[in-house]
């Protein structure tokens, strides 16, 4: 399978490392022998119809800053649109920065990829949250696969769980903590830090978005709520349809007041008829009362009651794992195998 990678930052660089570390296992167990036909970053691309040397790509990106510096396959005079149109590939794996105002440029890249007949895997919430079912519909019309499990919950398979639950039951509603940065800040307020100190700590730990207002105002949570709602309920909701209130008004005093009642404040996204994101007081023993940068979602099922999934909501390595899940799922639909062909086949330890 030939892949084009758009972006070579925390997520896609980790994906390259995983593909290298698990090369044998992926081939033996799943029949996946990925060839990296091109990788694009903000300064150019590396391209080879026979597949790039992954180890060399990683070395060049880490040491020289851009894949365009790879010799002889690097080019500084091309961009993602050129590469999508010109390079032969089965799939485009998109992990460039999110834009929650216009979705660009990734929206145009994904559209171009689908129009060019490429299957697409993305971790980018912007285009999905802003355009409802535009991209899934475009993929459907063209008989292509489009998956985005890394866009909600990083490596935690929230969308995958929802899809499995929906097979045998009906999800009637869900509530969740969708943003690690705000959850970290709220947890630190509980520990006695001021809002500013907690935000600083979140930035130092690399949790916050480049523009932390996206987290604090609740827009990141709302975009994930939209994506999950559309996937679960088949709606065509957009970010603008969500009533959003962020955590700026949550003070140390409010958190302490909740704690005195055995409760915590969490930024909760609620899916259903009136989708909303807002800080809520919930019991400390609620499964949604996760700490630090964790995410959690509780699905209400018609027959089975509630099911909660929780885990790290972000992280380059973790999200790269979600991309790989999607790649393997599409690979299986295109003739590869998943679950593994032979459960007794050797498992290669994954240390990335
Ligand atoms: N990191 C996470 O924990 C996480 C979790 C879930 C979802 N996501 C989503 O995954 C995506 C990638 O995240 P990340 O953390 O890997 O971001 P990142 O570290 O900032 O990397 C972004 C990459 O995209 C490249 N890029 C920027 N503009 C480009 C353009 N116009 N054309 C081609 N490449 C371009 C950058 O190039 P340079 O290297 O030259 O700067 C960089 O390689 C985002 O949409 C993010 O929201 C991330």
Helix or strand (DSSP H, E) at 37: strand 35-41
Residues 71-84 have pLDDT tens digits of 999 999 999 999 99
Sheet with strand 276-283: strands edge to edge: 243-244, 276-283, 263-271, 171-177, 294-301, 305-312
**What band does 349 get if pLDDT is binned at 50, 70 and 90?**
very low
Helix or strand (DSSP H, E) at 219: helix 219-233
Helix or strand (DSSP H, E) at 15: helix 10-21
**What band does 211 get if pLDDT is binned at 50, 70 and 90?**
confident
Q: How far is the CA of 307 from the centre of ligand 1 (A)?
A: 32
**What percent of the chain clears pLDDT 70, i.e. is strictly above it?**
95
Ligand 1 near 154 CB (within 6 A)? yes
**What band does 342 get if pLDDT is binned at 50, 70 and 90?**
low
> In this structure, are residues 259 and 190 in contact, taking their beta carbons and an 8 Å threshold?
yes
Q: Is 273 helix (H, G, I), strand (E, B) or coil?
A: coil
Instruction: List % helix, strand, coil for the chain (3-state, nearest 5).
Output: 45, 20, 40
Closest Cα to atom 41 of ligand 1: 42
Strands (E) across 259-324 are located at 263-271, 276-283, 294-301, 305-312
**Alpha-carbon dihedral angle through residues 162, 178, 307, 322, given to the nearest 10 degrees:** 50
Q: Whole-angstrom Cα distance, residue 95 to residue 33?
A: 21
- pTM for this predicted structure: 0.94
Q: Whole-angstrom Cα distance, residue 352 to residue 339?
A: 23
Residue 58 DSSP code: H
Ligand 1 near 180 CB (within 6 A)? no
Q: How far is the CA of 176 from the centre of ligand 1 (A)?
A: 25
Ligand 1 near 1 CB (within 6 A)? no
Choose one of 67, 70, 82, 96 to mutate for the ligand 1 pocket test, by most ligand atoms within 8 angstroms of C-beta. 96
Ligand 1 near 321 CB (within 6 A)? no
Ligand 1 near 319 CB (within 6 A)? yes
The answer to whether residue 338 scores a pLDDT higher than 80 is: no
Q: Which atom of ligand 1 has the smallest separation from the CA of 66? A: 40
Ligand 1 near 110 CB (within 6 A)? no
Domains and CATH numbers, the chain: 2-155+315-333 (3.40.50.720), 158-312 (3.30.360.10)
> In this structure, are residues 174 and 300 in contact, taking their beta carbons and an 8 Å threshold?
yes
224 part of the active site: yes
**Alpha-carbon dihedral angle through residues 108, 114, 116, 122, given to the nearest 10 degrees:** 70
Q: How far is the CA of 280 from the centre of ligand 1 (A)?
A: 31
Q: How far is the CA of 342 from the centre of ligand 1 (A)?
A: 35
The answer to whether residue 194 scores a pLDDT higher than 60 is: yes
Q: How far is the CA of 234 from the centre of ligand 1 (A)?
A: 28
Q: Is 111 helix (H, G, I), strand (E, B) or coil?
A: helix
The answer to whether residue 65 scores a pLDDT higher than 70 is: yes
Q: How many CB atoms lie within 10 A of CB 113?
A: 30
The answer to whether residue 67 scores a pLDDT higher than 70 is: yes
Lowest average pLDDT, out of 56-65, 194-203, 242-251, 253-262, goes to 194-203
Q: Which atom of ligand 1 has the smallest separation from the CA of 98? A: 45
């Amino acid at each position: 399978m030939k892949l084009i990678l758009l972006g070579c930052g925390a997520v896609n660089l980790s994906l390259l490392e995983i593909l290298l570390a698990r090369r044998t296992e992926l081939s033996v167990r799943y029949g996946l022998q990925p060839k990296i036909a091109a990788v694009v970053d903000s300064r150019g691309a590396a391209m080879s119809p026979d597949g790039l040397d992954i180890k060399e790509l990683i070395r060049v990106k880490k040491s020289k800053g851009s894949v365009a510096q790879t010799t002889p396959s690097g080019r500084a005079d091309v961009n993602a649109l050129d590469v999508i149109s010109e390079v032969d590939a089965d799939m485009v794996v998109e992990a460039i920065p999110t834009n929650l105002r216009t979705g660009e440029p990734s929206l145009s890249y994904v559209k171009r990829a689908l129009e060019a007949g490429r299957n697409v895997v993305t971790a980018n919430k912007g285009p999905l949250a802003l355009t409802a079912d535009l991209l899934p519909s475009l993929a459907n019309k063209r008989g292509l696969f489009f998956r985005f499990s890394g866009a909600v919950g990083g490596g935690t398979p929230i969308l995958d769980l929802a899809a499995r639950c929906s097979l045998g039951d009906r999800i009637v509603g869900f509530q969740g903590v969708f943003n690690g940065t705000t959850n970290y800040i709220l947890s630190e307020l509980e520990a006695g830090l001021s809002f500013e100190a907690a935000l600083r700590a979140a930035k130092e730990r690399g949790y916050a978005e480049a523009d932390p207002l996206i987290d604090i105002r609740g827009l990141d949570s709302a975009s994930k709520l939209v994506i999950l709602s559309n996937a679960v309920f088949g709606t065509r909701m957009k970010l603008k349809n969500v009533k959003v209130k962020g955590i700026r008004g949550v003070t140390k005093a409010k958190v302490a007041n909740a704690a005195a009642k055995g409760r915590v404040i969490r930024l909760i996204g609620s899916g259903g008829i009136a989708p909303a994101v807002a800080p809520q007081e919930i019991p400390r023993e609620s499964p949604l009362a996760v700490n630090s940068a964790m995410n959690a979602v509780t699905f209400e099922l018609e027959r089975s009651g509630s099911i909660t999934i929780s885990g790290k909501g972000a992280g380059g390595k973790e999200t790269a794992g979600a991309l790989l899940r999607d790649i393997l799922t599409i690979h299986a639909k295109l003739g590869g195998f998943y679950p593994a062909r032979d459960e007794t086949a050797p498992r290669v330890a994954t240390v990335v």
